[in-house]
Amino acid sequence: MFLPLLFTISLLFSSSAHASVLDFCVADPSLPDGPAGYSCKNPAKVTVDDFVYHALGIPGNTSNFIKAAITTAFAPQFPGVNGLGISIARADLAVGGLVPLHTHPGASEIIYMVKGKISAGFISSSSNTVYYKTLRKGDVMVFPQGLMHFQVNTGKHVATAIASFGSPNPGVQLTPFALFANNLPSAIVEKTTFLDDAEVKKLKAVLGGTG
């Protein structure tokens, strides 16, 4: 009777002695990233500025091929979110701008429309059903983890949205770049995408692929 009780109590003490609760784990991006995120910066060197980020207040430069700019506050740029399961970004889309089909392997995304008008949607993996909608100021849309999605400015003015993610480092794979901005031989790209040679060669040239 007495012995098992003692054993239970000692087990309780030993497990609590080993329990460790971290308030935060500010990233040390000089060390390699892993599945659990970055290693922690020495807590004695953490300051409030590790938890504050300013770059999302500035519109991104949309003078580019897609006429859009994504400014990310993921763990590599914003070390304070490391280990916390969240991050944030800003998207600016000039008139006619777009965020090409892409996926975030590591997180679901939720966007809040600050201004403008976009057409946004995602494609289910189970049945390739497309869910898309015109979004305006104040609208919110969620994009489930891993599914292909897009945003296109369909309005007459710049559109801005704030995007939040369920990971400090959600990752991004842009589908057209994954398919055509690489060095996979065109013959294999053609076989695996059902596209013809001329189209594949054209897209490789436009997007910077070789082969």
Q: Per rule CB under 6 A, is residue 126 in the interface with ligand NAG? A: no
User: Distance (Å, rounded) from C-alpha 49 to C-alpha 143?
Assistant: 30
Site string for ligand NAG, 14-53 (x = CB under 6 A): ----------------------------------------
Query: Measured in whole angstroms, how far is the alpha carbon of residue 116 from the centre of its chain?
Result: 22
Q: Per rule CB under 6 A, is residue 59 in the interface with ligand NAG? A: no
Among 8, 10, 61, 173, which residue interacts with ligand NAG (rule: CB under 6 A)?
61
Q: Which segments within 14-168 are labelled E, that is strand?
A: 68-73, 87-93, 98-103, 109-115, 117-123, 130-136, 140-143, 149-153, 159-165
Phi and psi at 75, nearest 5°, equal -50, -40
Total interface residues for ligand NAG by CB under 6 A: 2
Shortest spacing between CB 63 and ligand NAG, in angstroms: 4
58: CB partners within 8 A, 6+ apart = 71
CB nearer ligand NAG, residue 41 or residue 90: 90
| Site residues for ligand NAG per CB under 6 A | 61, 63
